[in-house]
Structure formats: structure tokens, C-alpha cells
Amino acid sequence: MLRANGWIIQANAPIETPVLVLALVAVVLGLRAMILVSSSISDPVHDIVDAMAEVERGHLGKNDRCV
């Protein structure tokens, strides 16, 4: 609609550049979202692995008392 009427993009302008820019923006935002989601999943897993390693070493609590 905007291109056909020549409001934002002229009707005879090539469409490849806006499509490439839009694709690049989508890839960059998608990568950022993927990094955010993967870190929000992996951080708690790393915390659990660290806690399991502490229990393996015999540290059962914050004050290191054995019951």
C-alpha cells in the first residue's frame, strides 16, 4: 500500500535494500533473544551443578555442620 502509493518508498525504487535491512534487523534481534533465553535456562542449571559439587565435597549447608 505504501509502496504502491509512493508515500514512503517510491513506486519505482528497488525493493531489495529495505528487505535486506529488515532481514538483518530480524536476525540481530533474533540472536539477542536466543542468547537471552539460553542464558536464562543455563544459569540455573550451572547453579545446580555447583551446588551438587559442594554436596559431593561434604559441604551440606552454609555453616558446614554435619548432622
- Given this model, what pLDDT does residue 1 score? 64
- Positions of the chain with pLDDT under 70: 1-3, 62-67
- Given this model, what pLDDT does residue 3 score? 66
User: In the block, which residue shows the cell 548432622?
Assistant: 67
- Given this model, what pLDDT does residue 65 score? 53
- Given this model, what pLDDT does residue 67 score? 47
38-66 burial, b for 16+ CB within 10 Å, e for fewer? eeeeeeeeeeeeeeeeeeeeeeeeeeeee
- Given this model, what pLDDT does residue 46 score? 92
